[in-house]
Structure 1
Amino acid sequence: MASFERAYRNRDAMSFITTIREDIKTVQSHDPAAQSALVIFLSYPGLHAKWAHTPEHWLWNHGMCGLARVMSQLTRFFTGVEIHPAAQIGRRLFIDHAMGVVIGETTVVGDDCVLYQGVTLGGTGKETGKRHPTLGDRVTVGTGAKVLGNIQIGDDVKIGGNSVVVKDVPAESTVVGVPGRVVRRAGCRVLGDTLDARDHRESMPDPVQEQSLINRECIAGNQRRICELERQVAELTALVRQLAEER
């Protein structure tokens, strides 16, 4: 029995070491400012918050909820990241710059996700039970974005900075705006690629600007149609008058 317990503890230790190595490699692949592994290990609060969440989550699942909550608040104090001990966090999560990130109690985060500073994965205040979002794998959430409520964010989704997402998002989509709107799906622009070609834009689109442009084009088209109908009415009126005079 003693040898089994030692093997179990060694397995957990190796698993945690593997996690640290994976997370450091993730930082190196995502952050162009990353330096050596030692510097990353010592100076990235997003990693510290993720690593601290592991024992906090274990304590929560084993009935020591009060202790887990206190530890999570200490982690919040030192890192600026608040992860509820009950939240389910996948592998290789990268929280860049970290400050101000909040991850709620029933949140589920998949593997290889990236969160930037100021991100909130929270609730709407109107739900019970599962009231926080579920993120698929390889989801990127931009600076200051809010993902709220019991919603599903599909794999490979990108959420633009300061967006507010309150509805499900299909996989391989890009979401921007308040409220969040899908502007790209499976690599194709939802509102049409001609807008980018016209404006020579390479950054994220502005859905409000695009919708305004579409509305103006529709109004201009209606005006042209009205002018054409007025011309036809004038011609018909003149023809009727000519026929009346001939009689």
Structure 2
Amino acid sequence: MTNGWGAADAVPAHEVVGALRDVARMGGFFDLDTAQGPGSGEGGLTGEGFAARARTVNERYDTAEARVGVSIAHLGLAARLWSPVLACALLHGIVPETATVEWAGDSPTLRLAEPRGSRAPQSTSSLADAVRAQADGVLEGVERGLPVKVAPRLLAGNSASALVGSAAQLLRSRPGLRAPLTGLTRELLQTGRLLGTGEVTGPELTFRRRSCCLYYRALNGSKCGDCCLAR
């Protein structure tokens, strides 16, 4: 994947680190670690690493259906990519480059091995392209090595659901971002494979997707709030 990075747009590493550490204070999926330390040894988001995490999900939910573990793990990974990239872009005007994202040890947490980034474009459409490339673009790379076949529209729906979920959490934490955040989220849902995956249904960035993540098929699972099957 090319990222279109240019020297004129590049942001010093310390600024990228500072932005990521700031948004990490929102907790959970916004935490993209930049600290040096032992990684997973996989050198990135490998298919083997993802498969191991999907198996862990299957064990946790006591289900033998491989697609369920893959989809739930994929949805979590999507949220961990969208959240910090979206937050840094809107709060700091920096789009982190995620080409060196890796698993942080055996946990689902991510770390950016080589913090780099660029200045966020001024136009909403250009910003959407930049943000999507660093979140959904990386996710698509992981999908090429999935251990089991999963419908492409389910995977795209997972990414869209994670995007809007991340945006909604950011809105709750930073309500002053409502206008630019809503505009960027709607633009992203018209970008690339996210087009047609669902729609924003309310001012608090509630969402209704057109596919299902399969969580309801896990033991004690249920239909998610944005699921097409929910009524």
Q: Normalising by the residue count of structure 1, what TM-score does the alignment of the two structures yield?
A: 0.24
- Which has the larger Rg? 1
- Higher relative CO (Cα under 8 Å, sequence separation at least 6) belongs to 2
Greater strand share, 1 or 2? 1
Per the normalisation by structure 2, the TM-score is 0.25
Query: Is the helix fraction higher in 1 or 2?
Result: 2
